[in-house]
Structure 1
Amino acid sequence: MKHKICMASDFFYPNMGGVEEHIFNLSQCLLMKGYKVVVLTHSYKDRVGVRYMTNGLKVYYLPIKPFYNQCVLPLMVCSLPLIRYILIREQITIIHGHSAFSTLAHETMMIGRLLGIQTVFTDHSLFGFADTSAIITNKFLEMSLADCNHCICVSHIGKENTVLRARVNHQRVSVIPNAVDTTAFVPKLDLRTSDKITVVVLSRLVYRKGVDLLAQVIADVCQENPKVQFLIGGDGPKRDLLEDVRTNLNITSQVTLLGSLEHSQVCNVLNRGHIFLNTSLTEAYCMAIVEAASCGLKIVSTRVGGVPEVLPPELIILTEPNVPSILKGLKHAIYQVNNNIGMSPTKCHKIVQSLYNWMNVAKRTEIVYNRISLENPKPIGKQLRSYLSTGVYPFLLVVSFMHILLKILDWWIPHSDIDIAKDYKMKKSLPYKNHLSGYGNE
């Protein structure tokens, strides 16, 4: 049973992050298995239209500009004609949305359900229950997943969180962890400096990634130990805070801000470091620490969310999400580097290689696809009833209006008038490692 899958998310290359890597790697493995995969995302600056990436992965960069934090404005109706056209043109049978933050993913899934297409959603984040932002996001997620066929979480703690905050039946939620391409993320010890200890940080520079904690840690460590330098990759609203700390304390020589990175640059940046630091306040999985461990770095991370599930204890130093605890863990890692204590980078790489494999992730995702493909599409009346449990009754009017608009479009631009896209035939003779070595190449 060969499905035609649409990966929908606001987060994709050239943006850098765990969601982007997950979508790309999963898509590559599904292509290798013979499935058709297209990616739907919004425009990134001048990147608009259709682009082809490694192994013929087709990416639709819709002419919609992001509104806030790389997400589009939830207009619902305005993007409906274009998304409908693409789904019909590509003959999509399954829509796979990614990230609770992604407005485009939720919109595409909703439009797909009204078209009778099965939907899957992968939640990559953890949320609280008390603050205003979490309450709004959780209610929006509950509305979106009320009629979703199946959900995937990247950790067991993530599954518990999603079931509670989105009120999803636990039987409709599976746990499929992330993985890492260990053929690309290999130790390169020649890139490391011998006279300095380099601490690498790669993340979005936003509040939930603990950038406020990071700023204080940088200030304390750099003033205490001039031998330590920080290499920070990523961008976001908290970058100004790091710039201020670096300038005010006159530690510009010890702190380098690389800004947003292409994914092809990540491996080399990691290999320039001895220690990888993660200061997140909430994290469902954290792909970055797996990639860093695969490159042989010592890992220091806050003990939040699904992080304790990701790596065995011998590969990671866990701390509490506060400055004193992070400083203690980081100083312990610096001591290990100075005295050459701990596991060698090569052995770290072999352990990660044995634990994580993208083909295994794709195989488990394939089981979910096959299961939901056997379900019959719900009629519009049953779909509307599924939203009653959310208690947001005006939302029924929005869904009803979208259904009517789709019927008008079926009359105005019928399916028979839409050209069907040709499928890309991938060469099956290429070995596995070559398929995932060309991140982001067009």
Structure 2
Amino acid sequence: MVRPGLMRGGGRGGMGMGMRGRGAPYMNKKTFLPRHPFDLTLAEMAFPRVHPAPDDSALTNALLKRSQDLTPTASEQTAISNLVAKVQGVLDNIVIAPGDFTKCQLEEVRQVGSYKKGTMMAGNNVADIVIILKSLPTKDCAEALGKKVEEDLQKSMKTEVVPKAEALSLAYSEKGFEISNSLAKVRCLIATLPQNMRKLETEKHLDFKIIQSHLAAIRHTRWFEENAHHSTIKVLIRILKDLARRFDGFKPLNPWICDLLAHSVIMNNPSRQALPVNVAFRRVFQLLASGLFVPGSAGITDPCEVGHFRVHTSMTLVQQDECCMTAQTLVRVLAHGGYKHILGFVENTTVAKEMSVWDGVVVSPLEPAYEKPSEKKDGEEDDMECVEGETINE
């Protein structure tokens, strides 16, 4: 439930109240009508500037500096690229000429995730490769494939002088297997052909949801390469990932949500041209603060899923409220010049939770607007956001 007067992203405004009485019984059924929060960028024609835009070069330079700090170093990039090339080469050979390896059949191998997208973070030298099997993905075949890849890698490196730091190791996980050295790691994620999904059995095969997520990663990477390759988007994605890592209220913003949010704030504007990174950065906080990711908002539709799946519905109602509440505090901090605290140049994440003063202006964090409801009484109706067909994972 939402406390009276504390609903985020605007008031109720009487929307959704049907006719009473016997006149129109069909009107009693609630209809879910998602609304987009107010966005000054989309409404700029209705709100023309009366003063020229202020000089924002300090924020722009700070954003570019922070992005550079978050980008892997040249040595990190070399280490991960070398390991990916070796693993990819071995897997491609198994696809083309499996030889006496009969434990499973490989259909194709695809690089996915932040390595492929060019949005890796410094200090997290991990790349992902999805291996699509023609056969069903049993746990035994995943282990056998991992051993085969390790053996072929060791054979290919026999003629090389391998430093101790680049000595390979093999590890298994519920998602597949990992090939790593002390400098980098490649996660090999097992999937299967879509038509095999209905044949999966819990006892014998890898988890259905995990395989689904691996296939989704391929769709995400393909979409990103086609739509979000602009360098400004990649700069903002790294900054959003860093915010999600440092501020508790933004932790539910997973990498895919960060990708879509960065693409939306930069490209979704009347000119359809990429906005400058400083404008896009401010727009992130403005949209989140106005309720982009709260119940009732149109949010951002996942372009890789069937139907109109809004990505923020993967967050719980408490997480949605905390995300909005954090943004509402930080947008005020940003408006009064506190960008260094937000970006992490001054390591102080308490600005989102504690009162702070900026040039005489007091910024106080807000209280939660959402409270978990008590048990529903007989005859009590659901809230507008809990209508049938709108799923929110708790």
In the superposition, the TM-score normalised over structure 2's length comes to: 0.24
In the superposition, the TM-score normalised over structure 1's length comes to: 0.23
More strand by share: 1
Radius of gyration: which is bigger?
A: 2
